[in-house]
Structure 1
């Protein structure tokens, strides 16, 4: 059976549009707001509650907006005979590995409370429909995994909560995303951010394809962001922010040498702090979609601005012609006619006498 053909340049919007600004736990999400930074702890707790709490502390120290964990059960993800994934380099069969990484539901109240005490929003990715109800009392939004983009029962369960959704799109094509968008729209979801993602661990820069951030925004008229799996702490996040990403997710760990499949490609605390700092400085540098004289420019805006000066001796009544006027930077002169008035000045008669180099008085155009 042949696959669906998709015109990448056309997409028919059916149903109400997604909103371009919304709140998650009091934090504004949108292209004109600060990027919402999610520190992805994932399964890097290694089954230890104290390690999970330390991850929350690191996320807070690094000034992330939210910390995120994952709620999955091996029995809800894979059949027991699923085998091994090549990217795990023969650690063990995937079912046993996933089972060893499960986060106990009994941790959720403690993790949520500790996150709030540290000034962080608490997020958890659900991987099966029943997890949605379990997480609902603890999270202000749902972050969806790339591999669950086409998990229809899970999408519908999440959409039915009415909470905002951050949906990753790794290892998917436009047919997959079209289908997910249609499901979310039909379920009444309006607060959605699509996160571009390259689902490799780590993702090579040559396949990061960050232009997809703007492509997805234009195609679906939806907010977009990046779930970044590249190893570099700065390059992809900074580029993503310049491309309009309003949400950024990055895996982090206490130590890359810890056991577990997700530590080796995650950022260590110092790197996470550098990433947050770089994104915030990028936002400062991007500034506003406007053009005005900045505070730091005001002195030179006057001092170096072109103005009109007499180029020779002029008596009262002499005509201002091209030979009588020169354009020079204003310098410290207090009153001089701006160079943009040259055309209006030409042909007029001088109201006062001028020496060479004397600024043309403002009242010459009165």
Structure 2
């Protein structure tokens, strides 16, 4: 597949049933009293040990997604007002396009604190003392565009995000490239899902850490997307119990793995707030547990995230000097213009009513946007 700059274009129209919650393979309801027991990734990542060092306090993680339900018992109190990019106001129930199922799931994996006695029930996130900044970029019909995702990243930066998580199927869009470059220059890491059975444009953007998924057996989840270039990391993504409006669901997808890796990044930012971004990226990569053929590879990247190692192991420091672009107080006018661009598909955890792919070529290449 030719993924040169001249051919990196995706044009798609996707209709999403945001009221349903289906991912790759089978998805099934989960109950609050079983969610914690089924959260196999907590033991595999030694989260209890990591939480003795930090729980992410003081870090703001932007979830650029479909909105977040701030009343869910597992994240209540951890959700900031955020913004709906179409109104410039916080996302609100009853407003067109308020579809928080997928975003709520991602928020729980990042910063869920559970509920009940000792908070032993429900979803425990990787960084339960971090704050979630919901940035809603989906339209009423579940659609979003490359320009809107770029706008969401810029809004996240303007509202003080320390980490940005993008569990979306994005096109390869110049505006996204520019928004991520701005995040880099502001020292804000951006993590993106690689995709399920179709690649997301996020993994082709310089400055993004692409994240692919492993299952409970520790192996790469077959059928999901590997990395085009092995520059990212892997994280748990198979059979993950997640929060959703009104309850819980178990699903598989690189959405989950990207959110979990974003939680690990929140722990790193809390522990090492003064690190330059190049060193922050280096820390999550070089402390990852190598899997596969040895060294970086397309199925695991640098390896599976290891929160404890990332927080405790010495990592040779690499300086990039001062940022070259100062932060702006509000998103640019270009980012506010949300028209005439390719469409983005939410990754995993969302049901599809129909998918209609419309081809458009630049340099004669079309990347098909498929279910991820």
How high is the TM-score relative to the length of structure 1? Answer: 0.33
How high is the TM-score relative to the length of structure 2? Answer: 0.33
Larger radius of gyration between Structure 1 and Structure 2 = 1
Q: Which has the higher contact order (CA 8 A, sep 6+)?
A: 2
